[in-house]
Amino acid sequence: MAESVMKLFGKQKSKIMDKVKEILPQGGNLNLCLTCGACSSGCPATGLDDMDPRKFLRMAALGMDEQILASDWPWMCTMCQRCIYVCPMKIDIPQLVFSVRAMRPREERPKGIIGSCDMALRNESCSAMGTTPDDFTFVVEDVLEEYVEAQPEFSDMKAPIDKQGAEFFLNQNSREPVTEPDEMVPLWKILHTAGVDWTYGSKGWGGENYCMFISDDESWEKIVRVKAKQADDLGVKTYLSTE
């Protein structure tokens, strides 16, 4: 009987633990976990798929790789980092989640997210909806013209694209220019009223990075580089993320 108990609960060789220690030699020591539950208390994914951050972490520490890799819970995590913020031992659970996602074959990761990632890679807008730089420019100019005509108090409002030397480079949710273009206007009004010096970029304006969400390192870096290059080319001072 004792031998069976040892087999069940004995420490197993864990690729997940090895990966975490490789990336985070200091933050990856899961044995530091106090099982206090602080990580789970504020997690928006707690309870989904019968999982929470504390349970996920303990399964990793016990070498339960097979069960972890079969779970869909890592894809329900928002990567908000509340768990590491409240953890008294500062264990980086989001990095663990990221590593687990990367261990699943790409073709077996959530298809909707893969599709959005691949779409963003196809054009310099980095739009997950596939909107080209020219189409985005057309929509912004069309919506702006409509609103300044309809609301005289905003007759001098601007929605600049590729403005050199602006203070802020503004990105945009990919969905809005395609399905809800009017939803862009409230933020324009706020920026206009506050006198903010800002601009969109015709390239790199897509606000999301689904490639990062699926732990595709090469692809998410490519998207970030497109955005950073456009901001640098325009000479803006601050990249302002709305996502």
Q: Which residue do the tokens 């980095």 mark?
A: 126
3-state secondary structure of 172: strand
For the cut 90, the answer to whether the pLDDT of residue 243 exceeds it is no
Contact (CB, 8 A) for 171 and 210: no
**Per-domain residue ranges for the chain?**
12-104, 111-240
Strands 168-170 and 238-240: parallel
Contacts 24+ apart (CB under 8 A), 211-217: 211/117, 211/120, 211/121, 213/79, 213/113, 213/117, 214/101, 214/106, 214/109, 214/110, 214/113, 214/114, 214/117, 215/98, 215/99, 215/101, 215/102, 215/109, 216/106, 216/117, 217/102
Q: What is the pLDDT of residues 33-53, one digit of tens each?
A: 888 999 999 899 999 999 999
Contact (CB, 8 A) for 144 and 188: yes
Q: What is the pLDDT of residues 195-211, one digit of tens each?
A: 999 999 999 999 999 99
Q: What is the pLDDT of residues 3-18, one digit of tens each?
A: 444 344 445 567 777 7
The predicted model scores a pTM of 0.80
Q: What is the pLDDT of residues 92-123, one digit of tens each?
A: 889 889 989 999 999 999 999 999 999 999 99
Q: What is the pLDDT of residues 119-158, one digit of tens each?
A: 999 999 999 999 999 999 999 999 999 999 999 999 999 9
Which 8-state DSSP code applies to residue 109? S
Top-level class of domain 12-104:
mainly alpha
